[in-house]
Amino acid sequence: MRWDGDALLMLDQRRLPRHVEWLRLSRWTEVRDAISDMAVRGAPAIGIAAAYGMALAARQGAGERDEADRGLRHSRPTAVNLFWALDRMQRVEPWTFERALEEAQTIEEEDRAMNYAIGRHGAELVPPGAGILTICNTGGLATAEHGTALGIIRTAYARDPSIRVFSCETRPRLQGLRLTAWELMQDGIPFHSIPDGSAATLMREGKVQFVVAGADRIAANGDTANKIGTYSLAVLAQAHGIPFVVAAPSSTIDGTLPNGEGIPIEHRSGTEITEIEGVPIAPEGCPTWNPAFDVTPGELIAAIVTESGVHRPPFALG
């Protein structure tokens, strides 16, 4: 994302990697729809987009403030960064376009700095020459820049080019195959994309020494909501004696929730399962169950890395 005079320019992640297309969003409702339709995704990026959406609301007029806040809050339910950013924008005074835009840009800059700090702290945990397994997309596309889990990988690779990366394809929307692979190729970091179901075999063969994932919401006890399939990786990592690490800025921590039971889990359209790029692949009328996230219990997490450092269990966050 970048601000361009009177509009927010947003890279349309739905079109990657085959097409690089930018959306020009000049109204807060367009930002809401971009979040809901996943033109932008990744918890930190969703929060940044929402902040710019509020700036656009301020540009449209002071009367748009509360309506925009309500509309953006309903765009996606799980990523707490969305609500954190909107709460922060609601505290902006005086409510002018200039002041709102300044705050949105500050949120973006702070996220950028947090991601580089996460990368530095997390890279210290990576064993020399490790095989690193990750899921979904947690790079620059999901944040202001550099990334959270992928930021750790980037920093670790800069220090130790012998590390190996394995990226889960991440069904059903294939963010790992479409987006993480694209970012790793842009950076020239050697990697292999893998089917989600091959992670256990990869671990059994001794090719993985470190698993790192991002987060959309972290409860006070360390229970972590992330892309569906993350919980499976944590269970597999424990079974194979491999550290499972979560990387996220502190804005992803929801200290109001004592545990993960209260994290709202978004359920999305079954067409994400039954279709690929709009092409039906399932029998017509096939029933589906499509939660976008799962919750990994804190006891399966070896460390949670934020911009402030490495947090170890038992977790007391927030």
| Measured distance CA(166)–CA(270) in Å, rounded | 27
Alpha-carbon dihedral sign for residues 301, 307, 310, 314: negative
Q: How far is CA 65 from CA 26, 91, 95, 209, in A?
A: 15, 11, 8, 48
**Ramachandran assignment for 26, one of left (phi > 0), alpha (psi -120 to 50 degrees), beta (any other):** alpha
Amino acid at 97: F
Structure tokens at 191: 């990697």
282, HSE (Cβ side, Cα atoms, 13 Å): 13
Phi, psi of 23 (to 5 degrees): -90, 140
Phi, psi of 139 (to 5 degrees): -100, -150
Q: Residues 111, 216, 223, 254: which is the catalytic one?
A: 216
| Measured distance CA(9)–CA(3) in Å, rounded | 6
Q: Which of 44, 188, 192 is nearest to 118 (CA)?
A: 44
| Residue 277, C-beta contacts closer than 8 angstroms, at least 6 positions apart | none
**Beta bridge pairs of residue 303:** 245
294 as an active site residue: the answer is no
Please identify every residue annotated as catalytic: 216
